[in-house]
Amino acid sequence: MIGRLIRRGATLAAAARRAPLSSSAGPAPAPVLGNAEAFDPLAELAGVRRILKLPAATLKPARPASARGSAPVRLEGFSIPPQRGALRGLTTIFGVGKFQASRLCAKAYLSESLQVAQWTNADIERLTAALQQMSSDEANAAAPAYLRFEYGARLRRRYGDDIQKLKSAGTYRGQRHTRGLPLRGQRTKSNARTSRRRQRYDVTAQ
């Protein structure tokens, strides 16, 4: 109902401004601008709100324009797309999911919805310090299992070491890793064809 009144009032106010002036006595009305570009819908809406005694619209202040432009932000060797929000952008780092990204934003006093392009140098420094503090040996030793955190090259190295242990022990999973085939019982007749083709070439070469 209120929205219909506001739209109706804006239409009437616009029509009144475009109507020709009458010769009635009284104070001279404000001059009417003839061109359509001079019509300000925000001003008309504010006038209707005053007439209906409605509270003024609260507009969210615009964020300042970023000086980084469209260049990606570098954080600990990873390129983070500038158009993403902080929570989604931090998941670009290998080993950082949404849970750890939320922890990083909290430790760096950073809004999760703030766009990456609007990060300042101080924000990047706080995020770097939070990453290093959360992944330190002291923090992982004192934290429970679900809060232990590794990322980047260190996590990749640990994954590689675990796979190498399986291979050297001669386990089934290690053999599947060596042959480049699925580990968990997936079908290979219509899947992993590239790996099977490479094995066939290796066998013929021998």
**Which burial class, exposed, middle or buried, applies to 172 when counting CB atoms under 10 A from its CB (0-12, 13-18, 19+)?**
exposed
Q: Please, which pLDDT band fits residue 188 given cuts at 50, 70 and 90?
A: confident
Q: What is the pLDDT of residue 70?
A: 75
Q: Higher pLDDT residue, 26 or 139?
A: 139
Query: Where do the structural domains in the chain lie, given as residue ranges?
Result: 1-17+37-58, 73-147, 151-183
Burial level of 75, CB count in 10 A (0-12/13-18/19+)? buried
Architecture of domain 73-147: Orthogonal Bundle (1.10)
**Radius of gyration of the chain measured on its C-alpha atoms:** 32
Report the range of poorest mean pLDDT among 9-13, 90-94, 156-160, 166-170: 9-13
- Report pTM: 0.57
Split at pLDDT 50, 70, 90, the class of 36 is: very low
Of 31 and 155, which is predicted with more confidence?
Answer: 155
pLDDT band at 205 (very low <50, low <70, confident <90, very high): very low
Between residues 70 and 3, the one the model is more confident about: 70
pLDDT in tens, 51-110: 666 555 444 444 554 555 678 899 988 999 999 999 999 999 999 999 999 999 999 999
Task: Provide the pLDDT for residue 195.
Answer: 76
Could you tell me the pLDDT band of residue 119, with boundaries at 50, 70 and 90?
Answer: very high
Which of residues 45 and 172 earns the better pLDDT score?
172
The predicted structure's pLDDT at residue 49: 62
What is residue 200's predicted lDDT score, i.e. its pLDDT? 62
Per-residue model confidence (pLDDT) at position 206 = 40
Check residue 51 and give its pLDDT.
65
pLDDT of residue 86: 94
pLDDT band at 46, cuts 50/70/90?
low
User: Phi and psi (nearest 5°) for 57?
Assistant: -70, 135
Which residues, other chains included, contact 1 with Cβ-Cβ below 8 Å and sequence gap of 6+? none
